[in-house]
Amino acid sequence: MTPDDKRLIGLYLGIAVLALIGTWSQNLAFYRETGSFSGLSFIEACFANHAAASISIDILFFGLAAFIFMGIEAKRLNMRWFWLYVLLSFLIAVSVTFPVFMAVRQRHLARAR
């Protein structure tokens, strides 16, 4: 593994950590504010106004494209546990799981060289 590979993996993992902090600080604030963390109330809040709906739709379609990319790359590189990244995207956040996938992908690419 080259120093560039290590830096890129570190960058991806750094993004994942920041995304985890950013998304879950807001998720917990939502819970404190509403007293509820049911999926339905969260989804309703995602479409509370046009700005929230725009961002929500943007993230949904980014997630769809990311899942397709991850599936193709996982198959091409014989990466196991692809389904776990998709599942965790819904339970944690796609902004966390996608960079983690990219870090693991970079490790696979480095090992293949």
Q: Locate the DSSP E strands across the chain.
A: none
**Model confidence at 67: pLDDT above 80:** yes
pLDDT of residue 7: 98
pLDDT of residue 113: 86
- In contact, 107 and 74? CB cutoff 8 Å: no
pLDDT of residue 64: 97
Whole-structure pTM value: 0.90
Give the gyration radius of the chain's Cα atoms: 16
From the list 108, 109, 91, the residue with the least C-alpha distance to 24 is 91
Sign of the alpha-carbon dihedral angle for 83, 60, 91, 108: positive
pLDDT tens-digit readout, 18-54: 999 999 999 999 998 888 777 788 889 999 999 999 9
Residue 14: both structure tokens together: 């750094």
Residue 18: both structure tokens together: 């920041």
pLDDT tens-digit readout, 2-22: 999 999 999 999 999 999 999
The percentage of the chain sitting over the pLDDT mark of 90, rounded to a whole number, equals 85
Whose tokens are 């504010």? That residue is 33
Rounded mean pLDDT, 49-64: 96
Angle at which helices 94-112 and 82-91 cross, to 10°: 160
pLDDT of residue 34: 87
**Model confidence at 77: pLDDT above 90:** yes
